[in-house]
Amino acid sequence: MAELVQRYLDDLVAEYAGVSDGALADYIPELTQVDSSGFGLTLSSSDGFLYESGDARTEFTIQSISKPFTYALALDQVGEDAVDAKISVDDMTTTPKNPMINAGAIASVALVPAAGPDERFAKIRDFYSACAGRPLEFDEDVYRSEKATGSRNRAIAYMLDSFGVLADDPDEVLDVYFRQCSLRVTSADLARMGATLARGGVNPQTGRRVTSTRVVQRTLSVMVTCGMYNAAGDWVSAVGMPAKSGVGGGIVAVLPGQLGIGVYSPLLDARGNSVRGVLVCRSLSERLGLHFLTV
């Protein structure tokens, strides 16, 4: 069985390796320096077994895939009521409505309790590392590039501060946000992080409970409804798994109770999603019947 799965993944990577559509993210200058041909695919089963193909151990920055995990950490640390008070679905408030967009993600960072920005980043980094099953490293060059070109995020942070959403200094909160986006992962890390969510908050490799099943349920709910930028509707229809993409070229997808999937390919479509990553996930879902609404 393991041989068949491995051969299937290798064939899938070979099938889409020639796809050259898309472009590297250029609004963060450092991201234009990566190898555009990079392509890695990893599946982690719910018992922690990994199937890897292509550049599965190539490191890249997590970028917006960080958003659901910081949201989960905030829920874990301060509870649903405190999070909902700042990231709300109430149309009468001025709070951001969605933790998967930048405004909501910055608010999520501010909700992680800490004595200062270094402690807050350490908590976030430790949480991601616990989900991945190994210590994640920080990319200083990407961080500096992102911080130097982050005027729009800076404006968002100050807008949130003006609405009373941020309890701490907006520059310090934003600095942590830039740092969390600059943590380095591989497609294998993403698959394990996905498998941790698939197992209800237990890392299948280490056996450690990282967070609660209730937190995972909330996190997967926002991933399935809005994790793929403006392509979320197409994704749910065609792929049908909670997922999150990032402009570093990664996608993490989760089949609850069964699988975590990690893909890396840095060429992005117009919506900011990995071109090859979307194609691979669509094929996996169609051919293996992974859509979460499949009976």
pLDDT of residue 173: 98
Over its length of 295 residues, how does the chain's per-residue pLDDT go in tens digits? 788 889 999 999 999 999 999 999 999 999 999 999 999 999 999 999 999 999 999 999 999 999 999 999 999 999 999 999 999 755 666 677 789 999 999 999 999 999 999 999 999 999 999 999 999 999 999 999 999 999 999 999 999 999 999 999 999 999 999 999 999 999 999 999 999 999 999 999 999 999 999 999 999 999 999 999 888 899 999 999 999 999 999 999 999 999 999 999 999 999 999 999 999 999 999 999 999 988 7
How far apart (Å, rounded) are the C-alpha atoms in residues 295 and 292?
A: 8
pLDDT of residue 89: 57
How far apart (Å, rounded) are the C-alpha atoms in residues 197 and 184?
A: 19
The predicted-structure confidence for 46-62, as pLDDT tens digits, reads as follows 999 999 999 999 999 99
How far apart (Å, rounded) are the C-alpha atoms in residues 133 and 92?
A: 41
How far apart (Å, rounded) are the C-alpha atoms in residues 295 and 149?
A: 46
Instruction: Tell me the pTM.
Output: 0.96
